[in-house]
Amino acid sequence: MGRHSEMERLVESTQASEVARERTRVMFLTLAGEWSVREGYEHLGVRRTRFQDLRRQMLEAAVHALESGLSGRPRRRVDGDSLRLGRLRLALQASKRKLERVRAQLLIAESGAGSAARERCVAQAAGRGF
């Protein structure tokens, strides 16, 4: 009885119509040998061939869902434009950091250092393309 109650709990926890859950319960009972195929199709009120078609469809769907595939999350596809845009953003961030560093050096040089230190900072900035 333990297996039957677990099957009932699992089937009830699915998001499906009551008709689909009842069909699933009956299919599991017949597959487990607790019910005969005849009991299954009579309970569902369908013909034997329809019952067999439903059971085959259920099994095919289950097997297909369990096919081995790549493990983990699928890779995100990145087109060329997105890749270039990302690289440009990184380059812009690096340029902004360099600019802030040079500005800070210039402020330091202007605030307390003599003209020689200021000229060195300006020369460094000019050598970096700023």
Listed residues 20, 47, 65: the one ending a domain = 65
- Asked, for residue 115, whether it belongs to a domain, the answer is yes
pLDDT digits (tens, 9 = 90+) for 21-33: 999 999 999 998 9
Does residue 10 sit in the same domain as residue 61? yes
- Asked, for residue 73, whether it belongs to a domain, the answer is no
- Mean pLDDT is highest, among 47-56, 70-79, 102-111, for 47-56
Other beta carbons within 10 Å of 49? 9
- Asked, for residue 96, whether it belongs to a domain, the answer is yes
- Asked, for residue 7, whether it belongs to a domain, the answer is yes
- Asked, for residue 80, whether it belongs to a domain, the answer is no
Q: Tell me: pLDDT of 129 over 60.
A: no
Does residue 6 sit in the same domain as residue 61? yes
- Asked, for residue 79, whether it belongs to a domain, the answer is no
pLDDT digits (tens, 9 = 90+) for 79-123: 878 888 889 999 999 999 988 888 887 777 777 655 666 677 667
Q: Tell me: pLDDT of 1 over 70.
A: no
Does residue 10 sit in the same domain as residue 59? yes
Asked if 41 contacts 50 with a C-beta cutoff of 8 angstroms, the reply is yes
How far apart, in whole angstroms, are the C-alpha atoms of residue 94 and residue 105? 17
Domains identified in the chain, total number: 2
Structural domain boundaries enclosing 39: 2-65
Asked if 130 contacts 98 with a C-beta cutoff of 8 angstroms, the reply is yes
pLDDT band at 2 (very low <50, low <70, confident <90, very high): low
How far apart, in whole angstroms, are the C-alpha atoms of residue 125 and residue 99? 8
Listed residues 65, 80, 110: the one ending a domain = 65
Q: How far, CA to CA in Å, does 39 sit from each of 5, 13, 22? A: 19, 24, 13
Does residue 45 sit in the same domain as residue 96? no
Total-model pTM: 0.49
How far apart, in whole angstroms, are the C-alpha atoms of residue 98 and residue 28? 67
Asked if 54 contacts 23 with a C-beta cutoff of 8 angstroms, the reply is yes
